[in-house]
Structure 1
Amino acid sequence: MSRCIRHTTVFGAVLLTALLLNTARLQIVQSTVQDTNPADRRPTIARYAQPRGDILVGGRPITGSEDTGEQLRHERAYTDGPLYAPVTGFASQRYGETLLEATEDAVLSGTDPMLSALPLWNDLARARAAGGQVVTTLDAKAQRAAFRGLGDRTGAVAAIEPSTGRVLALVSTPSYDPGVLSGNDETVIRAWARLNADPDKPMLNRAARQTYPPGSTFKVVTAAAALDAGVVRDPNARTRSPAPYTLPGTTTALTNEFHGCVDASLRDAFTWSCNTVFAKLGVAVGAETMAAKARDFGFNDAELRIPYAVARSTFDPTVDKAQLALSSIGQYNTRATPLQMAMVAGAVASGGQLRTPYLVERTTSAHGTTISTTGPRPARQVMKPSTAAHLRDLMRDVVERGTGRNAALPATTVGGKTGTAQHGVGNTGTPYAWFISWAQPDDDPEPAVAVAVVVEDASARRGDISGGGVAAPIARAVMEAVVRGGG
């Protein structure tokens, strides 16, 4: 009898050991496989079991969480969703996350180890800390001024603080409400299909993820290259520039919108946006030097993140002389995001120093304890200080006596550059209206803001569209919001 008991005990011990070993194998060796098994809904249920942390602008949340009482309990909610969509992106139970909702997901969802005092215990217990907060650099008044300024037109605005790189505004229109994608029912599926089928592409972030021919706003880069290379030594000296200008190696004549561009000085050519002068200057500087200067400003950089990825602005270094002439006036293959052109304006305003833009100031716990900070990155000197000083004067002339008068502000030094970019087959598309600018209050030692505005479908006759007439008033409203209003 005792022998049977011993055998039964041993057999039970073997079974128990096998069970423990198998449990350990499942929980340790195959944990990753099990966690990614699409049939296992427990991670998804746990993800939405608690409210998601918030994204903040000016200390106030622009996001929230709605308790649905369903199995996937909490859905994302947005305050002023269309206003901030190019910043937040969406957080959807069905379609995942984009933009800040994606790059800061670990903090917002509570899975970042920095949110927990005992991260190892949380891993073992599969517990989750309360979702943290993401504090942005945005200026709420500037954001709203840009959104109102664009109105029902298609376009984008980017504004940065030149001395730090803080992104103050990032607006894209037409926009959408990210909240319509938050859940996972049939209404979300229909909203997704509708938004993706919309020819106006409301989910496209035009401020940071769409590139455009920058047109005459790129002449800031060309002028910087010419001054740094010594091709132009005195901005007030007359240049040898015919009008029209025949593109090298072709019979194509490049013309100007204004008269008086023949042999115009760099100052007058910049003020009145003479294509012929800048096309010839670009050829004189050369493709290699032009490409290097564009690269200094941030063109051809595929690694720019704010923290989400920004579309690469481009300047083609392989062009022939005719193509280089067109590239130097912001046409041919030259492409730029509004954020990139705000960086160009900011570098001029800051004495030639370029700060990499950033959108997240810091992240915190749910109770406000800081867990990480971003802060300004080291500045790059992208042109000589003397060149930046000349360009500040040139951009100021554009606003004071040239094509950018609509951007002027009282008691504030404002510099700007207009642009009207041709596009489409045979340049038949409605021109893009551009304006880039910076503003420095008279009582402030540092420039307060640099802005870039692009309007795709300017509501005017094709021949009347200009950056000064269409885009400059929007830039003015954004600059005024920063200079007069604060965040």
Structure 2
Amino acid sequence: MKTRRMAVFFALMILGFAGCTLGVRRAQESGEARQAVQAQSTWTLQIDEQRGSIYDRQGRPFTGQEETVVTAVAPGIESGKALAALPEGEEKQAAMKLYAKGSPFLFVFQEGTRPAETEGIQHFTVQRRYGEDRLAAHTIGTLDGSGHGVSGIEKAYDDFLTEQSGELRIAYTVGASGTVLQGVEPVVTDTRQKAQAGVRLTLDQDLQRICETAGSSLGSGAVVMLDVQTGEILAMSSCPSLSSSQTAQSPYLNKIIAAYSVGSVFKIVSAASALEQGFDPATVYDCEGAVDVEGISFHCFNGIAHGPVDMEGAFAVSCNGYFVQAMSSVSSHHFIMMADILGFGRAIELADGFSSAPGSLPQEEELENPAALANFSFGQGTLTATPLQVAAMTAAVASGGQYRTPVLLYGLCDENGEVYQRQSLSPPQDVMKEETASFIASMMETAVQSGTAQSGAPETVSAAAKTGTAQTGVMKNGEEEVVCWYTGFFPAQSPRYVVTVMQEGVTENTGDCAAVFAQIADETMAFLKEQAGN
């Protein structure tokens, strides 16, 4: 079995390093695997081909971060001696078999067995497009077998990135018989510098790594971080990662931009609409654990009776009954419009052909049904939204009532890393009065201090947040699956970052999202402190 595995290993290396490293090709004499081009008196091998790069906001590459060595071999006296001196084994046998054909070829030797450079043997360092543990995998995307983008930024900017391609080639002088002429130096052409041009994103690799590490505990979920003041996406992680070996549902689905049931985080919208319409937040509702709407009972979480609560108290303990009653006393038209201007029901375009799902908003006529309005008041019913939409809504509160469409593209850069086409930021849109946003922010801060969001309180920075547990109607082993949310910002005063955490495929809210939020906030503040000290 071991021998068979080794044979397969070497066969894969020989038959095309391009399978794992973009553009590395081995010359053969027949079939599609042959990548060398024999023209006139030269024999040319294409050693490497790279397309345009993808960078973070600091100009650090997401692509081409892992390297390997490819060896170009031209059969001859010295190269034959070097190969003959290799340790006995399948690797040597494979190399000698190619050598015996008499034409130049490419080979990937194992580390430690690589022959020394001599006449006819040259080593070249080439880059792999992706590493095993690459960052922002769902956002960057993937390539097909021909090297073209099929998802994410790779697909959205496929034409542009392809135009920036460069390659590494070596050309040997051959005689009439096709054998390499000894003593004639091969010509190496390297245009890979051109591939340093590419796309720069708003993501920050340090913050992305913090979010991915923390979010890995979710199993199946998503984490989004936004800059409060600009709307730029600083990190976006879909769990599990494309490179993860975890078994989870839909690992290739980008959950950051997929729509899910929302739950009580939507009470932020409910509160905003009610307050903007003049609803008095001091209004007290006596919660008995459930409220009846035309014969349908709407329960608070676990049927808990919260007793007399005003809006701040109801928000802190996430009392469904309070918001059912509050939203029945104000205009449902204004309610649905508030959700609309906060980005619900509308796709967010991150790049050409790369957009979030729009999610779903109920029709205004649907809310004429009191039961549908009751469901909508605490984020249930037909409402769905993406983690990115929830983060943008949260940022509107953190920024004092201004909504900004999230932005992912920072700009395009040349091969020297200079940005020559800076992406403009989305203009802010006033969606609620500053005092409304301030009051909601204070309620979110109270929720962290003494309410349902308390388990997500960071140790090193103040925060404001809202929790949510949304029913899905999907059963798992006799229990209903829920979608868990935790969305908030930090610091609570003068907010800088919004973080939204979503977890799916679980049957109860165990606080995983809250723990992820707290970890991200603490590690972000530690990182900023370290940066300030350097």
TM-based fold match above 0.5 = yes
Out of 223, 227, 231, the position equivalent to 1:161 is: 227
Residue 105 of structure 1 pairs with residue 170 of structure 2: no
For the 8 Å contact 2:52–2:164, the answer to whether it is kept is no
Q: The residue matched to 2:234 in structure 1 has which SS?
A: strand
* Deviation per residue, 1:6-36 (Å, 9 max, x gap): xxxxxxxxxxxxxxxxxxxxxxxxxxxxxxx
In structure 2, the partner of 1:236 is 282
Residue 89 of structure 1 pairs with residue 137 of structure 2: no
Q: Structure 1 residues 214, 412: closer, same or farther in 2, change over 3 A?
A: same
In structure 1, the partner of 2:518 is 476
> Within 5 Å, which residues of 2 pair with 1:16-415?
50-57=49-56, 58-64=58-64, 77-79=129-131, 81-94=133-146, 96-97=148-149, 98-110=151-163, 130-131=194-195, 132-151=197-216, 153-177=219-243, 200-208=249-257, 210-230=258-278, 232-233=279-280, 235-239=281-285, 243-247=289-293, 249-257=294-302, 259-302=304-347, 304-305=349-350, 308-317=354-363, 318-319=365-366, 320-410=369-459, 412-415=461-464
- The amino acid across from 2:194 in the alignment is A
Judging by fraction of residues, say which structure has more helix: 1
For the 8 Å contact 2:226–2:497, the answer to whether it is kept is yes
Q: The residue matched to 2:211 in structure 1 has which SS?
A: helix
For the 8 Å contact 2:357–2:386, the answer to whether it is kept is yes
For the 8 Å contact 1:250–1:322, the answer to whether it is kept is no
Query: How far apart, in 2, do the equivalents of 1:455 and 1:425 lie?
Result: 15
Provide the alpha-carbon RMSD of the alignment: 3.4
For the 8 Å contact 1:76–1:91, the answer to whether it is kept is no
Q: Structure 1 residues 101, 237: closer, same or farther in 2, change over 3 A?
A: same
In structure 2, the partner of 1:189 is none
Q: Structure 1 residues 393, 147: closer, same or farther in 2, change over 3 A?
A: same
Look at both structures and tell me which one has the larger radius of gyration over its CA atoms.
Answer: 2
Displacement of 1:172:
0.8
Judging by fraction of residues, say which structure has more strand: 2
Query: How far apart, in 2, do the equivalents of 1:284 and 1:373 lie?
Result: 47
TM-score relative to the length of structure 1: 0.74
Out of 439, 461, 465, the position equivalent to 2:490 is: 439
Query: How far apart, in 2, do the equivalents of 1:145 and 1:245 lie?
Result: 42
* Deviation per residue, 1:387-431 (Å, 9 max, x gap): 101001000001111111233235633100011111125794232
Structure 2 gaps of 5+ residues are 1-34, 36-45, 73-104, 107-125, 166-190
Q: Structure 1 residues 375, 440: closer, same or farther in 2, change over 3 A?
A: farther
Query: How far apart, in 1, do the equivalents of 2:351 and 2:408 lie?
Result: 5
In structure 2, the partner of 1:187 is none
In structure 1, the partner of 2:20 is none
For the 8 Å contact 2:240–2:248, the answer to whether it is kept is no
- The amino acid across from 1:218 in the alignment is F
Query: How far apart, in 2, do the equivalents of 1:155 and 1:368 lie?
Result: 34
Structure 1 gaps of 5+ residues are 1-41, 113-126, 179-193
Query: How far apart, in 2, do the equivalents of 1:228 and 1:60 lie?
Result: 44
Displacement of 1:202:
1.2
For the 8 Å contact 1:172–1:206, the answer to whether it is kept is yes
Q: The residue matched to 1:313 in structure 2 has which SS?
A: coil
For the 8 Å contact 1:55–1:135, the answer to whether it is kept is yes
Q: The residue matched to 2:412 in structure 1 has which SS?
A: strand
Question: How many residues end up aligned between the 2 structures?
Answer: 401
Larger RCO (CA within 8 A; separation ≥ 6): 1
Query: How far apart, in 2, do the equivalents of 1:243 and 1:207 lie?
Result: 33
Displacement of 1:61:
1.1
Over the matched positions of the two proteins, sequence identity in percent amounts to: 28
Query: How far apart, in 2, do the equivalents of 1:256 and 1:356 lie?
Result: 32
Query: How far apart, in 2, do the equivalents of 1:140 and 1:87 lie?
Result: 13
In structure 2, the partner of 1:121 is none
Q: Structure 1 residues 397, 303: closer, same or farther in 2, change over 3 A?
A: closer
TM-score relative to the length of structure 2: 0.67
Residue 419 of structure 1 pairs with residue 468 of structure 2: yes
Query: How far apart, in 1, do the equivalents of 2:253 and 2:331 lie?
Result: 35
